Structure 1
């Protein structure tokens, strides 16, 4: 079988796993069997083990695959922005949309399931994916600091903070704890972050006195 055929098999298995795991949701605490995945993908065990050493290996591959799709979307959104500030807003909007877009939300459900959260190595793999997502934002913040449009930016620290806020909103949304309109959430987060990034730099020793440094 050619490389295209093998890739099709691999994709079919991952898509089937996504579908079954996301249907199980994040609240049931149940896991999806390899047998059900094989049945849904229309492949046998021999084909499964041609691509994955075990179910946990499949889970890690799914996470990396989904992370790469998100990374591509973030890069495209940021590239289309005219200014660093607009790029920050575009990054936030694209990331948050995972929780409000029907298709992206369904995929995100899979990563809150017992199948995924209990997989050995998933935390390390997820952090590596998050680091790639933050790198896009770090580069944008560095550009804004360099051209003076985001004078208070601390690229690596701020990308971590912005990402943490976005992830927290997504987790709350996926768990059914946030039903706020997407645009309201997006505007709140963007306004909060850009207000701080665009403000004059503040020296930590002077915060108590309310004195800001000149940018």
Structure 2
């Protein structure tokens, strides 16, 4: 390919990516400023300074943009989960680290305000984009499932089911706190950690008895 064409394509990609990031950043800014999980395309465009054509060049619908934002949020949360679990020793400690890392989404006023729009949009997006949202959910529960297999010898299918149930419980607590606009306090964090640990480890004990 001629170098001139390569340079032109590279500039086009850079403009395309920069435009995409402007739309995503604008959506986040509007969602936080308006405290809403469902901002209008018009408000997003006004914040970004881009055109309607630019918006639909990247996203077929507004909710496709939200899915992209939620997927990125899942990726950030996953990195935090993995870092916390890697710094912990023993199955019980790693389960606790996993729970606490998820609950960090609503740990204080700042994080709750930042994450509230995404938490409240989650049920609606799950209904409209079940495959994409479920994949992100499964990715967040995967570190816990892997630890149950490696640390406790749980069968992979059982571990995945246990981790998914734990994720639904802990994430549900986050959504409740976001809806109430109440950061989670230490007492509730400890209670959720204790409940989840008992549920996961208790299920493992029941599996061992049946075997």
TM-score under structure 2 normalisation?
A: 0.76
Give the alignment partner of residue 190 of structure 1, picking from 183, 193, 196: 193
**Which residue number in structure 2 is paired with residue 17 of structure 1?**
27
The 3-state SS of whatever aligns with 1:69 is helix
Give the alignment partner of residue 158 of structure 1, picking from 140, 146, 162: 162
| Runs of 5+ consecutive residues of structure 2 not aligned to the other structure | 1-10
Shift of 1:5: 4.0
Contact 1:111–1:117 (8 Å) recurs in 2:
no
Shift of 1:93: 0.4
Pairwise CA RMSD: 3.2
Count how many residue pairs are aligned between Structure 1 and Structure 2: 197
Contact 2:125–2:133 (8 Å) recurs in 1:
no
- Matches of 1:50 and 1:63, distance apart in 2: 19
Shift of 1:68: 1.6
Shift of 1:37: 0.5
Query: Where in structure 2 are the equivalents of 1:1-215 lying within 5 Å?
Result: 1-25=11-35, 31-111=38-118, 117=124, 121-146=128-153, 154-176=158-180, 181=185, 183-198=186-201, 201-202=205-206, 213=209
Shift of 1:145: 1.1
**Which residue number in structure 1 is paired with residue 6 of structure 2?**
none
Higher normalized helix content (fraction of residues):
2
- Give per-residue Cα distances to partners, 1:192-213, cap 9 Å, x unaligned: 233454568236xxxxxxxx94
TM-score under structure 1 normalisation?
A: 0.75
The 3-state SS of whatever aligns with 2:206 is coil
Contact 2:99–2:170 (8 Å) recurs in 1:
yes
Shift of 1:97: 0.9
Contact 1:25–1:112 (8 Å) recurs in 2:
no
